[in-house]
């Protein structure tokens, strides 16, 4: 057994470090945090100085046992990351290994190289308890917010919901953006473009100002028809384009989404693989810093491949507010490998990382911009023509900059320019764009909310909870006007274009709107966009010893907990946004809409006042018609919905056919069988159409049945063959032929049903 045990956070890191440390050192990994607050209980004794109860996380029992065993006869070196969480990990490891945090060797290194590690081992310190306390305050604050806020939602809105410092703000951003888009008033104006004859060559130019409406555009084109044009001025401006900093988690997610179409999660999974194979440095980072070794390696590669004048070694300042600088930027471990990875997904991402990191160490590209101003007789309006040529490609050699040169024909000041053609095209102002996964991450990072390791999981959570949906939008057609000057006359044309089409954008559900409205109204300060930034300031004070963690939590809780108490008085009707639509003319009963247990619901009549009164008439519930929402559905739209469930007629065997809309959409019911309605409206479908639907479903079902043993059946489902007894379904293993399953086999499979996962 080695005399020394070094503990790091990641097993991949452990492997590399072990190579540098030699035989006297064993290197093991804690796999991140190994202790945490209990999952089931709040785990914080608020009345006892916020005393936390920590326990070894369920999935870390094995790791903890192995670390204990290995540490028995060895000196322990704690080498977790140098940030708040890393310091806390080291402290928790001490607790688990039963060693004194104030006497234990704590080491840190920012790059995994032999000299860095040797230097770290030569200069151990002890655990910084102030930093640990800052982490503890962060952890407890998040627990208090999450575990006191969520139950309020269970009571007032719907069971199983969640709220938290990060996710609730993410949802709020999306809800508010969608409302902005909905309320946006499009303004239109006309953009005028002209083509002039410049010594036999075409010169394209645009009118500097935009024209307000069709009338102005028409007038302008007519006056241009009579006018003469000449070159007023030519200005040449040199410009340069600088490369971006090497990737952080957030910028990698944005670029992988933009250039490769990867989801945030996909990017992280692929990057993890590249990291594990040693192709890239750690992928969860908010630092743009490169090690000196990396800067040198990049320089060497650039000089050798592209020449001296392309090389410019640079360190980039980290922009992120909450950056903790425990890691480097994401970069290739070997700059001399332009390609790495085992499949095309990995190769593409690696190449992107390699190009970006290399480009960051290259010179800016320089361009020459030419701007010509064209004057018009009788009017002060000016046309502008611009050209741009690339003078030196610089970092464009490896990253971006695929644009073609736009060269102006040679012209000189005072030159007359005969007009060849002119047109005015209607353009529209646009609202802010919807968030994609990647742009949401960018926004959260700007607000200092969330950390690199949580961006992908947060996006998963808000979708799993039913707050956000990732969708493609078709958009709507819109008429666009165009005025063309032709033979001294103005022709008015119009064409259709699509507005509002969008791909893979995050859209709020009605649940998200209801929950966000509730939280903003009752807990404004906690889901404020600045809440995290302010808390971070206080956490820094704790780390600096200017504030104790208990003082910070005390101040927060004195403000927060009364809000929880106060929210108990909010009625369910208010929280569910209940709205009276009016009276049903037939029955005279009131019609309401509100967010019910299973989503938006229409209600005809009131619930009985005395809950025990069994004789009292019950309200009639119905779903909202398609395309309507809680806040825009009208009485006229609502009333027809109460015709559901609707009796359509009978089958030839005289069974009753009814239709309704359920959780999974419109359906038809005959006997005890349910059939989804895809093309028909449950309010309108005729008896004859319904019979057709039933027959085609029966046909499909007969193909589905592979074997029928009475008690048990073998069926072909959408996810492959399975056996069922009507209650439990068990998938048939891939290796077995479903046609050869006997009754005995089926019963055996059903005897061991897989444990149910909650949705």
Closest listed residue to residue 283, CA positions, set 275, 293, 294, 291: 275
Pairing of strands 201-207, 468-473: unpaired
Q: Is position 421 an interface residue for DNA (rule: CB under 7 A)?
A: no
Q: Which among 232-240, 550-558, 659-667, 738-746 is the span making contact with DNA, rule CB under 7 A?
A: 659-667
Q: Is position 66 an interface residue for DNA (rule: CB under 7 A)?
A: no
* 343 burial via Cβ count (<10 Å: 0-12, 13-18, 19+): exposed
* Among the listed residues 623, 690, 730, 746, the single contact to DNA using CB under 7 A: 623
Per CB under 7 A, which of residues 668..687 are in contact with DNA?
A: 674, 676
Closest listed residue to residue 592, CA positions, set 661, 659, 641: 641
Q: What CA–CA distance (Å, rounded) separates 673 from 508?
A: 34
282 is catalytic: yes
In angstroms, what is the minimal distance from the CB of 599 to DNA? 5
Q: Is position 147 an interface residue for DNA (rule: CB under 7 A)?
A: yes
Residue (9 or 513) nearer to DNA, CB: 9
Order of strands across the sheet with 419-428?
Answer: 229-241, 365-376, 379-392, 201-207, 188-198, 419-428, 476-486, 489-499
Q: Which among 65-73, 121-129, 358-366, 665-673 is the span making contact with DNA, rule CB under 7 A?
A: 665-673
Q: Is position 621 an interface residue for DNA (rule: CB under 7 A)?
A: yes
* 565 burial via Cβ count (<10 Å: 0-12, 13-18, 19+): exposed
Per CB under 7 A, which of residues 247..276 are in contact with DNA?
A: 272, 275-276
Q: Which among 179-187, 349-357, 510-518, 661-669 is the span making contact with DNA, rule CB under 7 A?
A: 661-669
Residue (139 or 355) nearer to DNA, CB: 139
In angstroms, what is the minimal distance from the CB of 707 to DNA? 14
Q: Is position 662 an interface residue for DNA (rule: CB under 7 A)?
A: yes
Helix residue ranges per DSSP H, 184-248: 214-226
In angstroms, what is the minimal distance from the CB of 393 to DNA? 37
* 104 burial via Cβ count (<10 Å: 0-12, 13-18, 19+): buried
Closest listed residue to residue 85, CA positions, set 53, 42, 131: 131
Per CB under 7 A, which of residues 7..46 are in contact with DNA?
A: 9-13, 31-33, 36-37, 39-42
In angstroms, what is the minimal distance from the CB of 292 to DNA? 22
Q: Is position 51 an interface residue for DNA (rule: CB under 7 A)?
A: no
Closest listed residue to residue 580, CA positions, set 588, 591, 589: 591
In angstroms, what is the minimal distance from the CB of 42 to DNA? 7
Say which residue the tokens 């065997």 belong to: 653
* Among the listed residues 317, 597, 653, 739, the single contact to DNA using CB under 7 A: 597
Q: What CA–CA distance (Å, rounded) separates 184 from 178?
A: 10
Closest listed residue to residue 450, CA positions, set 257, 174, 256, 167: 167
* DSSP per residue, 295-355: HHHHHHHHHHHH-GGGB---------TT----S--B-BS-TT-S---SSHHHHHHHHHHHH
Residue (272 or 373) nearer to DNA, CB: 272
Residue (171 or 367) nearer to DNA, CB: 171
Per CB under 7 A, which of residues 167..206 are in contact with DNA?
A: 167-168
Residue (314 or 724) nearer to DNA, CB: 724
In angstroms, what is the minimal distance from the CB of 43 to DNA? 8
Instruction: Determine contact, residues 738/731, Cβ cutoff 8 Å.
Output: no
In angstroms, what is the minimal distance from the CB of 692 to DNA? 18
* DSSP per residue, 65-104: HHHHHHHTTSEEEE---SSHHHHHHHHHHHHHHT--TTTS
Q: Is position 612 an interface residue for DNA (rule: CB under 7 A)?
A: yes
Binding string, residues 97-136; x marks residues near DNA by CB under 7 A: ----------------------------------------
Q: Which of 54, 147, 275, 282 is catalytic?
A: 282
* Among the listed residues 667, 690, 732, 741, the single contact to DNA using CB under 7 A: 667
Number of residues located near DNA, criterion CB under 7 A: 90
C-alpha 548 chain-centroid distance? 35
Helix residue ranges per DSSP H, 360-436: none
Per CB under 7 A, which of residues 722..751 are in contact with DNA?
A: 724, 729, 731
Instruction: Determine contact, residues 172/399, Cβ cutoff 8 Å.
Output: no
Per CB under 7 A, which of residues 305..324 are in contact with DNA?
A: 324
Residue (221 or 749) nearer to DNA, CB: 749
Catalytic residue numbers, as ranges: 282
């Amino acid at each position: 057994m080695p005399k020394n045990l070094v503990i790091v956070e990641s097993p991949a890191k452990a492997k590399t470090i072990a190579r540098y440390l030699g035989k006297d050192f064993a290197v093991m990994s804690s796999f991140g945090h190994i202790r945490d607050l209990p999952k089931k209980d709040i785990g914080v004794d608020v009345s006892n100085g916020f005393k936390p109860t920590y326990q070894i996380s369920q999935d870390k029992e094995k790791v903890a046992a192995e670390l204990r065993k290995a540490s028995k006869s060895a000196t322990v070196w704690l080498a977790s990351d140098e940030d708040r969480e890393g310091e806390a990990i080291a402290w928790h490891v001490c607790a688990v290994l039963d060693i004194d945090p104030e006497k234990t060797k704590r080491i840190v290194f920012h790059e995994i190289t032999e000299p860095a590690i040797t230097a770290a081992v030569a200069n151990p310190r002890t655990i910084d308890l102030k930093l640990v306390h800052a982490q503890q305050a962060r952890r407890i604050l998040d627990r208090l917010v999450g575990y006191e806020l969520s139950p309020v939602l269970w009571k007032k809105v719907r069971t199983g919901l969640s709220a938290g410092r990060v996710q609730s703000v993410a949802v709020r951003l999306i809800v508010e953006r969608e409302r902005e888009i909905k309320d946006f008033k499009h303004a239109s104006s006309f953009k005028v473009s002209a083509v002039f004859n410049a010594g036999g060559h075409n010169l394209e130019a645009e009118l500097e100002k935009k024209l307000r409406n069709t009338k102005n555009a028409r007038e302008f084109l007519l006056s241009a028809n009579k006018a003469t044009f000449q070159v007023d001025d030519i200005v040449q401006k040199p410009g340069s384009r600088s490369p971006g900093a090497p990737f952080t988690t957030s910028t990698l997610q944005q670029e992988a989404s933009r250039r490769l179409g990867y989801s945030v999660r996909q990017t992280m999974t692929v990057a993890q693989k590249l990291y594990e194979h040693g192709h890239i440095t750690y992928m969860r980072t908010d630092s743009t810093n490169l090690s000196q070794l990396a800067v040198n390696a990049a320089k060497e590669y650039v000089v050798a491949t592209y020449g001296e004048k392309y090389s410019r070694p640079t360190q980039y300042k980290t922009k992120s507010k909450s950056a903790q600088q425990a890691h480097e930027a994401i970069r290739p471990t070997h700059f001399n490998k332009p390609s790495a990875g085992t499949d095309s997904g990995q190769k593409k991402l690696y190449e992107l990382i390699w190009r970006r990191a290399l480009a960051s160490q290259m010179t800016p590209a320089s361009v020459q911009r030419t701007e010509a101003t064209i004057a018009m007789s009788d009017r002060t309006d000016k046309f502008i023509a611009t050209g741009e040529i690339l003078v030196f490609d610089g970092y464009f050699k490896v990253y971006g900059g695929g644009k073609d040169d736009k060269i102006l024909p040679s012209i000189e000041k005072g030159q007359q320019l005969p007009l060849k053609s002119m047109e005015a095209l209607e353009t529209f102002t646009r609202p802010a764009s919807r968030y994609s996964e990647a742009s949401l991450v960018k926004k959260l990072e700007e607000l200092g909310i969330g950390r690199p390791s949580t961006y992908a999981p947060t996006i998963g959570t808000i979708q799993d909870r039913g707050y956000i949906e990732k969708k493609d939008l078709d958009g709507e057609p819109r008429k666009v006007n165009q005025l063309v000057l032709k033979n001294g006359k103005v022709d008015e044309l119009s064409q259709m274009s699509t507005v509002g089409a969008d791909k893979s954008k995050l859209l709020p559900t009605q649940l998200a709107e209801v929950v966000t409205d509730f939280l903003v109204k009752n807990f404004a300060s906690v889901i404020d966009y600045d809440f995290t930034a302010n808390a971070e300031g206080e956490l820094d004070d704790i780390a600096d010893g200017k504030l104790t963690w208990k003082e910070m939590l005390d101040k927060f809780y004195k403000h927060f907990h009364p809000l929880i108490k106060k929210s108990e008085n909010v009625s369910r009707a208010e929280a569910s946004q209940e709205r009276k639509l009016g009276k049903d003319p037939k029955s005279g009963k009131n019609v309401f809409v509100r967010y019910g247990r299973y989503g938006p619901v229409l209600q005809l009549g009131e619930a009985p006042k005395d809950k025990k009164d069994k004789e009292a008439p019950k309200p009639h519930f119905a779903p909202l018609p398609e395309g309507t929402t809680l806040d825009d559905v009208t009485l006229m739209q609502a009333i027809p919905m109460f015709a559901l469930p609707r009796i359509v007629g009978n089958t030839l065997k005289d069974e009753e056919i009814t239709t309704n809309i359920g959780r999974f959409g419109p359906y038809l019911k005959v006997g005890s069988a349910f059939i989804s309605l895809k093309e028909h409206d449950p309010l309108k479908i005729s008896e004859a159409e319904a019979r057709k639907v039933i027959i085609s479903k029966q046909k499909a079902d007969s193909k589905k049945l592979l074997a029928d043993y009475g008690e048990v059946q073998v069926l072909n489902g959408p996810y492959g063959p399975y056996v069922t007894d009507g209650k439990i379904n068990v998938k048939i293993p891939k290796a077995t032929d479903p046609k050869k399953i006997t009754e005995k086999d089926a019963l055996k499979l059903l005897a061991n049903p897989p444990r149910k996962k909650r949705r």
